Structure 1
């Protein structure tokens, strides 16, 4: 029971609320209906009424007071709305503090997964989410760039001439635009490692056996090639028709390589080895154009400086050199994988060259 005081005296208003199933419906539709009924009764009796306090009984909860502080069930509707409004800003905030001591907005997640800020060795904040400081490295540019696997078997010759046949339309389309050429090359070069790693992953699951580290090696290769693409995106912005070409080429190459790897892994890895040899040649020509001054030797993108641990004043030429070194390492890994298959072994029987950069 609650009481309302009118101007003409005290009139007793009894409100019996139906037993409600949950808290939200009690404070929403049920309480609102009771309040409107009580208000209409007050107006009908004549005279202005003071604010009406409505008490609602909830199943298993009595409208009691404890230490002078009323429970949520016995609050007036206005007080309930005020409390809800006070809660909303707190729920929208991530609860963090920025460097100035002000509250910093963050992402609210039901899953409560903690996030942390990564810092470099010099204390500055790490600004990349796609790779972490412990995943960066210094490229080994002393690797032999002239090594070549001479095709001897029929499978080797098919792989070799398949790659050579792909070079002709590439030269015709890009000519001497090596920035765009490198970008297009990386959209293709990042596919084989992902396909090979995925198929080895499924094979490991089917056979209940380890992969010898080759799954991770091939996936690292795919990620490394993707980082090449992210770097050259900062140097040469692709045009709309080049983006359309990437979609078509990637769709065809992914499915063709998938089928080739299922039929003959030795052929698939050998073809990638020859593809990397062509990449070395393309980046060597890129460096020649930079040295001649035909391509501006612009400052290196920030992502390249952090990923390859280059000096702060590194230039585009430095980036091309480390990318070419990466391609040489990928050449060696894929020719090795093909040789393992040629010798009648499986990749898992030979330790994978993890961290071979």
Structure 2
């Protein structure tokens, strides 16, 4: 959200298009919000947790704001590593569910919140906590690849490889699946 907002304002100041970066960054932000809303729906947090979320937002938003102003490249790399850690965390949770270490999440009566069923279009019969974590882990793997790729690019000039239209006059269209490369795509692979 922070990167998308800053790039949006920069695009307006320059009166130039952004080569598709804003859309991808805002999509990533929306997806992360859906993860949070899903888990919030499952736990129905009280005032203390809501206060903690508010505090974390205040600290993290401002830290990311300053970080992105100083170095978008380093910020995207950091987020890529953060998403990699999320992939490991969800993988561990999935293994613990499969071993039966998390009985509440292994319970067949457990219901995935409707917000998650709708968002990920979860089919009937595939709505366990394990299934939900598989969807979320796949999202995090994509976020990891997207951020590592954006870190590898020149953020002022290079097109966003995750959209079908790059720059005015460009005839290249190459959608990339970021989950295929956990370290992201190198600049030469995107603009070459």
**Same fold at TM > 0.5:** yes
Q: Is the 8 A contact 2:79 2:144 kept in 1?
A: yes
Counterpart for residue 168 of structure 2: none
Counterpart for residue 35 of structure 2: 228
C-alpha distance in 1 between matches for 2:49 and 2:115: 23
Counterpart for residue 64 of structure 2: 257
Counterpart for residue 116 of structure 2: 304
Counterpart for residue 245 of structure 1: 52
Displacement of 1:349 in angstroms is 2.3
**How does 1:59-70 map onto structure 2 within 5 Å?**
none
Counterpart for residue 213 of structure 1: 20
1:276-304 deviation per Cα after TM superposition (whole angstroms, max 9, x unaligned): 01111111121122112232232322221
**How does 1:333-352 map onto structure 2 within 5 Å?**
333-340=146-153, 345-346=154-155, 348-352=157-161
**How does 1:123-134 map onto structure 2 within 5 Å?**
none
Q: Which runs of 5+ in 2 are unaligned?
A: 164-174, 179-192
Query: Which deviates more from structure 2 when the two are superposed, residues 238-247 or residues 321-330?
Result: 238-247
Aligned residues: 160
Q: Is the 8 A contact 1:197 1:216 kept in 2?
A: yes
Q: Is the 8 A contact 2:20 2:160 kept in 1?
A: yes
Displacement of 1:347 in angstroms is 5.0
TM-score after normalising by structure 1: 0.43
Kindly indicate whether structure 1 or structure 2 has the higher relative contact order, using CA contacts under 8 Å at least 6 residues apart: 2
Which structure shows the bigger proportion of residues in helix conformation? Answer: 2
C-alpha distance in 2 between matches for 1:220 and 1:204: 18
Secondary structure at the residue paired with 2:60?
A: helix
The structure 1 segments of at least 4 consecutive aligned residues displaced by more than 3 Å after TM superposition are: 354-357
Counterpart for residue 141 of structure 2: 328
C-alpha distance in 1 between matches for 2:40 and 2:59: 22
Which structure shows the bigger proportion of residues in strand conformation? Answer: 1
C-alpha distance in 2 between matches for 1:227 and 1:211: 25
Counterpart for residue 118 of structure 1: none
From 317, 321, 330, the counterpart of 2:130: 317
C-alpha distance in 1 between matches for 2:11 and 2:4: 10
Counterpart for residue 80 of structure 2: 273
Counterpart for residue 4 of structure 2: 197
